[in-house]
Amino acid sequence: MLDRLTRIATEHGRDALWTEALPWLVETCGALGGQILVDLAAPARHAHGQIDQAQQRKIDAWEGDLLWLEDWMPLGGGSLTHKPPARAVTSPDSPMVHIPIYEGRTLAGGLSLIFPQSRPLDDPVVATADALTQSVALVATLAMERYQLQRRLTQGNLLYEVSRAISSSLEIDNVLKFTTAVAANALGAEASALLLVDHAIGEMAFVFVHGPTAEPLHGRRLPLDNSVVGRVARTGQPLIVNRITREVVFAALDEDDVGPRLRNMLCAPLQVKGQTLGVLLVLNREGEQKFSAEDLEWLMALAGQASVAIDNARLYSTLREERDRIVQTEEEVRHHLARNLHDSAAQLVGSLLMHIEITRKLAQVQPAALEPEFDLLRELAQQTNQELRQALLELRPLLLESRGLIGALQNHIGQQRRRGQVISMTVEGILPAVANKRAETAVYLVVQEALSNVRKHANAQNTWLRIFVRSPRLVIEIEDDGEGMVVDQMERHYQERGKMGVLTMRERVQWLGGEISFTAPCDPECHGTLVRIELPLARLTSAANADAASWVMATQSQRSA
């Protein structure tokens, strides 16, 4: 019989075990009838055999004491005056035995047996009934431990499957949909939902749902207010809600949507680096069971996996956007180079070819007129060479290798002056030796792009380049007196026209660990623009292969010095 009860408990749970065990206990103990109360947290009663009204009242009173003890002294606790019964007791005026049921050291319920009036309730009878009852309770304990072990193993396997899905797929929708369904199935719940938070507008949305209870919520949006779900999203703290009565679970939703159908729920935040990305919900535990701390712990582990999936998808999206931006930038560079070559070198080469043809014909008819033509050919060839060298310098500033950052900028300004741009350059302080050539090139290209923007778009009369070496910072200012632009429209202006210069400048400065700002006084009209760049000197003086922590430490050392 105990083997049979073990199978029943393992397959169907504690309640089914005691339902099957009650008739066997009544008959084996020679009783006329009996009633059992199990699971004091969610009481369930079962009766078998003969029980009259007077006996039922006494059983109810004894079970009421057990429930009172559960309310005030859970997990088998006690006080000096009220303690759970440690052994079976008999009724003084009725052939009845009350037997407390313990699972481990926890009071789990009670059994009342009613015997014939003719049978004396001596110690052996009571002891036998108590021993049989505790044997069944031991079976229940072991079976539930086995059930919990199997459940943890199943949940662990499900976490592994979710982890595999995350690592093998970049389709974030499929992964999160699978994760949402796993949450409900693994915890034996009717439904589950995954909400994503939009901090910019202070709302969250039901993106994925599973189960009929959550189906009406799909696509709904909620404010981050004082509701249960909103509190989890704001604080990043998980919650167990086992008794949903009048609490506000979902704000801005009518009670007809979900209120009457909700009994209990688990809420786990989806977090990456301290930022809450969303909330994973599990709704309505099947049957009368409640969610436990172990359930919440497992859901938190699953939420961690979902957070990794969201972060991976976000990183992948960023990389894809970066790839597209690089392709677009390369295309812009090619167009820029083609335009420059067409406007300068190509036209000069065309003019050179035309004058070579003129010179060839003059050599046949007027040899004496060749000398001016040769002078003109030489001038055209020199201009072509200069334009080609300028194009190459813009692609790869070779002077950085020989003259350093300050010398290369001075040479670039000299070239711009020859083009008619009025630029003055001042340097305060001495720039230390540069070890990171890639960072040096990035600084040069940022300044070059800023000066190019002034020449092309500002229509300025004067331009000033100021460099301040103030350890531990390098400050660079590019200012003009031309047509200023509203700063918050600047990036949109460049994006609308396919110009990536300002965005590239900002990204290069961020890669250098610095800051860039654009200032244009507009009262009432915009006049002039100031571009200010602040960089850590350690980014230039640390080796190119040094990691971020190395040059941050170097920056701190310079600051303390």
Task: Give the C-alpha separation, 46 to 66, whole Å.
Answer: 16
Strands of 275-285's sheet, edge to edge? 221-223, 203-210, 189-198, 275-285, 265-272, 239-241
Q: Which tops the pLDDT comparison, 553 or 396?
A: 396
Of 94, 119, 148, the domain-final residue: 148
* One domain for residues 549 and 415: yes
* 470 sits in which H/E element: strand 463-470
Give the range of the structural domain holding residue 104, as residue numbers without chain letter.
2-148
* One domain for residues 427 and 531: yes
Q: What is the pLDDT of residues 232-260, one digit of tens each?
A: 888 888 888 887 765 566 655 555 555 44
CATH code for position 249: 3.30.450.40
Residue 451 CA neighbour count, 13 Å, CB half: 28
CATH code for position 493: 3.30.565.10
Task: Give the C-alpha separation, 473 to 90, whole Å.
Answer: 88
Task: Establish if 516 belongs to a structural domain.
Answer: yes
Taking a C-beta distance cutoff of 8 angstroms, is the pair 189, 286 a contact?
A: yes
Average pLDDT over residues 103-118: 82
Task: Give the C-alpha separation, 372 to 386, whole Å.
Answer: 21
| Percent of the residues in the chain that have a pLDDT greater than 70, as a whole number | 74
* One domain for residues 415 and 545: yes
Residue 557 has what pLDDT?
Answer: 40
Task: Establish if 381 belongs to a structural domain.
Answer: no
Task: Domain count for the chain, please give it.
Answer: 3
The β-bridge relationship of strands 189-198 and 275-285 is: antiparallel
**Cβ-based neighbours of 138, under 8 Å, separated by 6 or more:** none
Cα angle vertex 138, ends 99, 104, to 5°? 80
Average pLDDT over residues 293-300: 83
Q: Kindly report the number of other CB atoms within 10 A of residue 343's CB atom.
A: 11
* One domain for residues 108 and 229: no
* One domain for residues 413 and 556: yes
Q: What is the pLDDT confidence band of residue 66, given thresholds at 50, 70 and 90? A: confident
Of 317, 348, 383, the domain-final residue: 317
Task: Establish if 26 belongs to a structural domain.
Answer: yes
Residue 543 has what pLDDT?
Answer: 76
Identify which of 47, 52, 83 has the alpha carbon closest to the alpha carbon of residue 68: 83
* One domain for residues 175 and 61: no
* One domain for residues 305 and 440: no
Residue 41 has what pLDDT?
Answer: 66
Residue 124 has what pLDDT?
Answer: 83
Of 277, 292, 317, the domain-final residue: 317
With a cut of 50, say whether residue 79 has pLDDT above it.
no
Strand spans (E) along 199-311: 203-210, 221-223, 239-241, 265-272, 275-285
Please identify which residue in the block is written with the tokens 């303390």.
Answer: 560
Q: Which tops the pLDDT comparison, 323 or 196?
A: 196
Residue 340 CA neighbour count, 13 Å, CB half: 19
The β-bridge relationship of strands 527-536 and 265-272 is: unpaired
Task: Establish if 369 belongs to a structural domain.
Answer: no
With a cut of 60, say whether residue 35 has pLDDT above it.
yes
Query: How does the average pLDDT of the chain come out, rounded?
Result: 77
* One domain for residues 100 and 45: yes
